[in-house]
Structure 1
């Protein structure tokens, strides 16, 4: 009985480990604004994937569905303003749930930046990655609470500010000591 239970747990874990294979944010001009890879791809493969998917997604009409079958996977995407948010999943995964995750990510970005735009992601890419890392770990949704993610992001901002202030005060002390 224990062996059957353990086999079931391992098979469930193996399935869920490769839930989201990668996340791409692509502008309407085909510029990549964010990539996060949860499955192993070489740099050459990553470049090829980005080029292929950019061509497929950017040329699709706005009235077509937001799911594309690609290389035995499903790519779920949603366009917000000038950005396409794309996530690659297995064929049998729930694409509507992935659309919800994309929406969740965009709402949190919007809350953090106050009406997020492409420039926010260009100049504050580290924040976009931090928020994504709070949402997804190893391709799985980890935090569904927008309030929690916003609170953690704000806490990280205050830690960074504190570290900058300490670094500035240490620099001032060193500068005064060397005069």
Structure 2
């Protein structure tokens, strides 16, 4: 199960934060700040998987964005690592030439895309076509 998913830029600024397990606001902020620092400081030669407290921390960097997830210890780390690529691929299909600015100014759409992919910390959809269909339908209804 995915406990949380974070999207962070290379400067450590949090862009998306999705938590699938309840935490107090102060605890969330402290944890996010700590994890962002850990992931940004690790070099390219280090593993993208590490045990942290009671979960496994997985992260992956794509140019300017870091995808960070905390998962239970029984979760498949490689599957989550590849899931980051699926998220990026899906976002890139919706926002051609995806950039950090697209995420910043379309937080609602990004959250909707992630909500189509993950429910209660479980991955429920992996087809970009199916993930984007409801969002594209909303876009056509607004015109």
Scaled by the length of structure 1, the TM-score of the pair is: 0.77
Q: 1:153: Cα distance to partner?
A: 1.8
Q: 1:68: Cα distance to partner?
A: 2.0
Q: 1:158: Cα distance to partner?
A: 1.9
* Structure 1 residues without counterparts, runs of 5 or longer: 1-18, 163-179
- 1:95 lines up with 2:77 in the alignment: yes
- 1:118 lines up with 2:100 in the alignment: yes
Partner SS for 1:78: strand
Q: Which residue of 1 aligns with 2:2?
A: 20
**1:44-101: CA deviations, max 9, x gaps?**
0001111110110000001212112111211111111111011110122110010121
Equivalence map 1:1-40=2 (5 Å) = 19-40=1-22
Partner SS for 1:156: helix
Whole-angstrom distance in 1 between the partners of 2:6 and 2:57: 10
Q: 1:152: Cα distance to partner?
A: 2.0
Whole-angstrom distance in 2 between the partners of 1:83 and 1:59: 14
Q: Which residue of 2 aligns with 1:84?
A: 66
Give the counterpart of 1:142 among 99, 108, 124. Answer: 124
Runs of at least 4 residues off by over 2 Å: none
Larger radius of gyration: 1
Whole-angstrom distance in 1 between the partners of 2:38 and 2:6: 13
Q: Which residue of 2 aligns with 1:52?
A: 34
Partner SS for 2:39: helix
Partner SS for 2:26: helix
Structure number having the greater strand percentage: 2
Whole-angstrom distance in 2 between the partners of 1:140 and 1:93: 10
